[in-house]
Chain A
């Protein structure tokens, strides 16, 4: 019990430190802009009075550490000030775009799980045989297609063959939930394809490794069938290592969603970010970047705790295998 408490405490401490480093990286990027921020924002034609007013408004006259602390306070209380481009609070803008980006990432994660697990189990059943070769070849090719290229190709194909596939028509989940899922389905698939291949490859390798383990031989000598051994021993064991891999895949899916939104014209965080970058809206950029990164920090933290719950060996060693 004492081990468990120290473990959780040390992980929480690590979580806090990671969040601080992430915030520092985000803040630093915007504080070490070459040249004067105010003149960058207002352009070369601005008068000295205008520049001074903006500096005052952005707090650029305060010392760096003070600005960081007040920014950090804002970040953790959800108040990052107003966007310079849209004139609305940063938090409000971000929340309004969440359903698209999160819906897209979540849907593609489901696709990854639903497709990669069964194919990896079938493939590793008889390595080198037909189905293994079949899935592996598809895996190789789909790994190499960038999501935005796949999106373009699927737009090309669907527009030629089926006419239209909800492209560019985003439906709010509050109005029509099935319409919402439907319009995100194709983009989610495009985001997911390379990651399905990645998850498949990882799971296949890890199942094959587990299969050679001695405990599988023990169970065989006790008369268990291969299917039972797969579900009772091999899959639970490979799941432990899959948790980390899947959390990294989730991060990639989120990153992929930001780009694919742009191809399908979906009003998500990715588009908001690009608009903000285009209009040099620094409070908004830093808000989006920090919150997305902070979310992944928490996802990794949860994955770590989950792994610890699944694998008794980790509990003893304080989280290190």
Chain B
């Protein structure tokens, strides 16, 4: 058997993700200066040996802030997608397998949620319940759940008419076992690219929410918040824009490349 070539998408995507994960680990280990320490003498310094990415308007070290932000970005995207995945899996499986009135109700609810453009529903939820890490996670999880439910539903409908499922029914396997053991493993392999893309979209949404001030709250750092703070100094301190943007794009691009790699393998 010839050795299979690893797709370049995996290599580049993996390298990009490694950057973010290393940043996250560094932040957890507490390497470098504190992201919260202000220093009025070191305001808006350009990148140098002592401040790798320069400092912001309050004299905080941008490198430390970016490391800390990557931690929250990773946390929110993974936690949010998990919430969405659990809700979406249950809803999609039930709708797809049982069909009929279940399907109608679940899909109507899902479609209704998807009618709120972009992050509007999450914004509204956070506006009412107050912006906190926990609220951002469940609100975004809810917004993303219908996407997963749809993918699952389509897969389940496709799979449930296959002969091996009919055979399982004939053998007398119970419906819940059919869903869990016969359908789920096959549907799940199909949903992996959607999960990876979901992580990327979750990050996009979270950064946008943080940018307009309704996501991660200070003193916690996030890419969106750093960027919105930096906007006033856009012409005098462009590094405040460039570095966080670059990290954000690297993370999303990394995820995107991985999903392309998976797609290419199929």
Task: Identify the A interface with B (CB < 8 A).
Answer: 14, 17-18, 21-22, 25-26, 29-30, 33-34, 140-141, 143-149, 152-153, 155-156, 159-160, 194, 248, 251-252, 254-256, 258-259, 262-263, 273-274, 277, 280, 285-286, 289, 292-294, 296-297, 300
With both beta carbons as reference points, the residue of chain B lying nearest to A105 in the complex is identified as: B117
With both beta carbons as reference points, the residue of chain A lying nearest to B231 in the complex is identified as: A152
Interface SS of chain A: helix, strand, loop or mixed?
helix
How many Å lie between the Cα of A111 and that of B66 in the bound state? Answer: 33
Residues of B222-266 whose CB lies within 8 A of A: 224, 227, 230-231, 234-235, 238, 241-242, 245, 248-249, 252-253, 256-257, 260
Q: Judging by beta carbons under 8 Å apart, are B256 and A144 in contact?
A: yes
> Quick one: given A30-B128, A259-B208, are A292 and B116 in contact (CB under 8 Å)?
yes
B contacts with A, residue count (CB < 8 A):
44
With both beta carbons as reference points, the residue of chain B lying nearest to A255 in the complex is identified as: B118
- Which of A26, A33, A147, A300 is the one whose CB lies under 8 Å from B111? A300
How many Å lie between the Cα of A156 and that of B237 in the bound state? Answer: 10
Q: Judging by beta carbons under 8 Å apart, are A254 and B238 in contact?
A: no
Complex contacts, A30 vs chain B, CB 8 Å: 128
B125 interface contact, C-beta 8 A: yes
> Quick one: given A144-B253, A146-B248, A152-B245, are A254 and B108 in contact (CB under 8 Å)?
no
> Quick one: given A18-B108, A25-B121, are A148 and B115 in contact (CB under 8 Å)?
no
A-B contact pairs, 16 of them (CB 8 A): A18-B111, A29-B125, A33-B129, A140-B257, A143-B256, A146-B208, A146-B248, A148-B224, A152-B234, A155-B234, A159-B234, A259-B208, A262-B211, A285-B127, A293-B121, A294-B115
A136 to chain B, nearest CB (A): 9
7 smallest CB-CB distances across A and B, nearest first, come from: A255-B118, A144-B253, A21-B112, A144-B252, A254-B117, A255-B117, A277-B127
With both beta carbons as reference points, the residue of chain A lying nearest to B112 in the complex is identified as: A21
